[in-house]
Amino acid sequence: MSARRDAAGRADDPGGEVELFTLPESLVVQVMHHGPFKDEFETLARLGAFARERGLRRSGPHREMHIDPFTAQTPHDALRTILRDPVAVTTQRSWQISRLVGK
């Protein structure tokens, strides 16, 4: 079975385990990626450059929110994924970020 079919099969399983957990609030940078997962690295590079240009550095695990159902029938070019990285402010630019987020 291909990895794509295998992943799609698990995603379509209505009996999957449901859990409750807490995500800590944090400052994040995010972008909507349009297209196949294999092209996410280019979008992530843009996201990292955006953060660095604003005096931010990555401070935690990367997260993805898949907007479209990932099934065997979903065209790769139609996929939308929110790519999100928590960030921390570097000391030299902290006053600028504080003004942007209203703190």
What pLDDT tens digit does each residue of the chain (103 aa) get? 455 555 555 555 667 788 887 878 889 999 999 999 999 999 999 999 999 999 999 999 999 999 988 888 888 888 999 999 999 998 666 556 666 665 5
pTM exceeds 0.85, yes or no: no
User: Residue 13: inside a domain, yes or no?
Assistant: no
* pLDDT score recorded for residue 32: 97
Total of domains in the chain: 1
Domain containing residue 85 = 25-101
User: Residue 83: inside a domain, yes or no?
Assistant: yes
Residues sharing a CB contact under 8 Å with residue 71, sequence separation 6 or more, in sequence order: 8, 11, 12
User: Residue 18: inside a domain, yes or no?
Assistant: no
User: Residue 6: inside a domain, yes or no?
Assistant: no
Structure tokens at 52: 């660095």
User: Residue 95: inside a domain, yes or no?
Assistant: yes
- Read off the DSSP letter of residue 36: -
User: Residue 94: inside a domain, yes or no?
Assistant: yes
List C-alpha distances in Å: 91 to 21, 35, 47, 70: 31, 36, 20, 41
CATH code (residue 40): 3.20.80.10
- Read off the DSSP letter of residue 42: H
User: Residue 78: inside a domain, yes or no?
Assistant: yes
Q: Are 96 and 54 in contact (CB under 8 A)?
A: yes
Report the candidate in 11, 55, 93 with the shortest Cα–Cα distance to residue 3.
11
